[in-house]
Chains A and B, each alone.
Chain A
């Protein structure tokens, strides 16, 4: 796996960043582009998606997958790659993400595609922004469960304590609860510091068969369980207080044969602080509505918190390439399982890690994906 170290990349094209992260991940594994027989990309890949990128990268493929669920797509790709490898159809799968929302270039998805969606004229006409949508979920969560802005701020505080150790992190300063709740209000109740960063960058993953893994000089991390679920507005019956994790989580835990209590480290997609809080509830790390008290008192802070999370600083502090945070969630979970996280945030004896992605919006439709990974096969 590989995470691009850059956060502002004005001098590179989008395909170049895909190529850089592909080369980085393959080098990390001890493989080359010639070894890849399956390639996975999502809405951040320009043109024809995987087809265009395969040509650009010079890949000779017998398997491609362009599954698009927004920022969670790369976790869905891991699920699909694991299944294809188990079926004997794939030996070496490559997944890439790249984007430059900070310095220009194509945004994710493509506006033409979104403006032709059947829901478009019933949402876009009302000033729906990304923070605005997540704010609707946060406001309802506060109304039903008494969640407070200070509790949401604890999520950002934990991320910032981790980011101070990451020299590549976009924001490296530790912040306090007071600083979060006194930062400018973007869309009530979400403040600026409740929101993730906007950065260029990217990342890539390589999944291989057991036979290939045995030939590599690298610590390979097994995928033990996977789950995907979508949640949408259900014909007008949307419930803003839960995410698709209520279904993707149990699927992943069941396949892995573990429970939330067994997990040593979690990477939780943190587009906003509320995303983390609701996801932790929905994955079963605490009761529904109990997320606010769960994240208090440093529970998420590595290495000694109850449930260390996002030790790279996450989307809230480290990076959010292409406005899609799923890739880096998997990357940091693999670092933890390999024992290669920064020593200050490395979870001791990390044997089981969970990565979770939330693509789309809490306020409308989302693709949720959960992975459970182990230290060794």
Chain B
């Protein structure tokens, strides 16, 4: 397996496709770009070229703040494969300031201190191929 990234967690390269190219390109520059529905105004997660709830509506991309709060979290202590060496680590849903709940890791802190409601800020953890993973650290 490849070497762990900046925060000691695996940094598996994502699969980039035509729909997600814009999202991943922005992460290379440390920016969080997200699609917003042109009809309902909701910000769509995971990134795609149409509104999730409305299905057939178009979207416009914008730069999000990277600010959020922990919606739920768990300290993973037992897991197989390449993640085993990274335990204990925090798996979490972060609710972005712009609305979506994003599956991620909370890094750069003691895992035991992470809690629901905690304010967090996006960090970009580069993968070997260039795109960076969207993780969060306490604000």
Name A residues whose Cβ lies closer than 8 Å to a Cβ of B: 115-116, 118-129, 131-132, 135-140, 143, 184-190, 192, 233-238, 240, 363-364
Contacts and interface: CB of A to CB of B under 8 A. Distances in A.
Contacts of B51: 235
Contact of B44 (A236, A238, A364): A236
Contacts of A235: 42, 44-45, 51-53, 100
Contact of A121 (B15, B71, B86, B92): B15
Contacts of A187: 74-79, 91
B44 A240 contact: no
B123 to A, nearest CB: 13
Interface of B: 9-12, 14-16, 19-20, 42-48, 51-53, 71-80, 83, 86, 89, 91-93, 99-105, 116, 133, 135
B2 to A, nearest CB: 12
Nearest to A138: B74
Contacts of A363: 93, 103
6 contacts: A127-B83, A135-B74, A135-B76, A187-B78, A236-B101, A237-B100
Nearest to B91: A132
Task: Tell which of B20, B43, B51, B103 has the most Cβ of chain A within 10 Å.
Answer: B103
A218 B79 CA distance: 46
A127 B46 contact: no
Nearest to B42: A235
Task: Tell which of A136, A190, A192, A236 has the most Cβ of chain B within 10 Å.
Answer: A236
Given A124-B12, A184-B78, A233-B101, 16 more contacts: A115-B15, A119-B46, A121-B14, A129-B83, A132-B74, A132-B91, A135-B91, A136-B72, A136-B92, A136-B93, A187-B74, A187-B77, A233-B46, A237-B100, A238-B101, A240-B72
Contacts of A135: 74, 76, 91
B93 A129 contact: no
Contacts of B42: 235-237
Contacts of A131: 76, 78
B72 A139 contact: yes
B45 A127 contact: no
Contact of A237 (B76, B89, B101): B101
Contacts of B116: 139-140, 143
Contact of A136 (B15, B46, B73, B80): B73
A291 B19 CA distance: 41
Contacts of A126: 91, 103-105, 133, 135
Contacts of B72: 136-137, 139-140, 143, 240
Contacts of A115: 15
